Structure 1
């Protein structure tokens, strides 16, 4: 669909050398069809509310049950909090745009949205890596688990994750701030995504692309390699268990985490593969929904449905028993 007529009625051209900070962007979203707007609004509002409620229940269940005050559930509550933040960074603005039919977002708001989105998605990645390490210690070194995964180390791992991702997000944002935009400032997406912002620039984007590639290798590839290494050791340890029941119990402690890891990385890779394979902005935006909205929504269901301790904690929480 052509958006030029809609765009021309809202945004003027920005000439090279003008103050980009006074500019506005247009988030094109998914569709301009009026009859689809109520459906899209209801769909994403429902998914957002389910995401918030599901992840809050996980946090409340873990905090209310002293039996769940372990490193594994400490990391899970952090993951639930970050999932809430990931969705809250993008979906509320999209809902406002759908409801008001004004797709404008200011330059400052766009930069802030991009900063927090990079931060929280990066934290998701790091937390999944830390949780894989936790499962590695629990299965490969069970006798030393409580000693190794002590509260001090758990807190340090979370702190390091926050610091590294704050610095990474700040770096990406500062590099984008150096760009000039001199074409129609419409973003074929439902939020200010980093790659889309760079494609709009009319100044040199070499540093931006370099920062993205380095981050992909260091902050994307390294955590994935850590997860794969942890599970290779876990599989080796499980294969060494003699009884079938013992193997099942050991593997069952990893199934929820494996499901979340698979969902996160498959949807994330799907976004970039779809962007590389097709020029359709609608396909890219639709694929992005998977890891920005769907994945945070499904995570609580994965952990609650496949984890007896969480189900028991939720049951006690609703019954009002300590």
Structure 2
């Protein structure tokens, strides 16, 4: 066996079994995914040091997504998170299943249908080529890892979570100001205690143009903050055109979710996005997601009053019944 074959076999051991079985299969029955051309459109850049409600509102109305600069998260922390995540994902699948225990969860496959790690599949094209570690930030004090690598990473996640809590509060407060939301009503629409991190690995794939890391979706959050570091793959839908969101050093990507669209009475948009695989390198990204407080009722002229709990229950029901998330349409006023 050649050195490259040995390396590939060792790499495959780090993947969930379904990825090992499918990674080298013929692509005869796979739909070819056309590459996205580079666009002349420029994604908005928001500077947290001189945060303008008008500029932020424009990005939220026109795009539902923007690049965040001067955010105050140390570049050394972003690099360390990436390096530690890479080490953790390089462990064998069996080891990862063992060490990522409560309050963490280890997930892979079709993320929307596998919160506990079990994917619901009807064929190879249903696989989302992603594995992830779920970190509920409010419960990290319960984490008592025996593995020193995970313990070190947990400390980095706690520090990063504090930074992202600060960013989420600042951004939401400015959006609420721009939308002229009632302070008393909107103060529960961002529940910092609901925040969690998802650390994702999208495995390299020889047939990267025939399968998705994650297919088209919107986030259910109020807002999501992404650190995609070195390897790109994120694509967003703007004016019926798919655009690449290339990684830029020390910049974070902020996108709005379904809850923020409803809170804004559809003035802001929950952006559709997807993740493309890379042929040559694993892609590691770290996403922060935050939601309304439990029991916080979202009231809008577009939708029936609902809580995030109501929304989440409907999403789970739709996925079970139809295999996909329907989302805000379920709550539209008729």
TM over 0.5: no
Determine which structure has the larger strand proportion and give its number: 2
TM-score (norm 1): 0.31
TM-score (norm 2): 0.30
Determine which structure has the larger helix proportion and give its number: 1
Between the two structures, name the one with larger relative contact order (CA 8 Å, sep ≥ 6).
Answer: 1
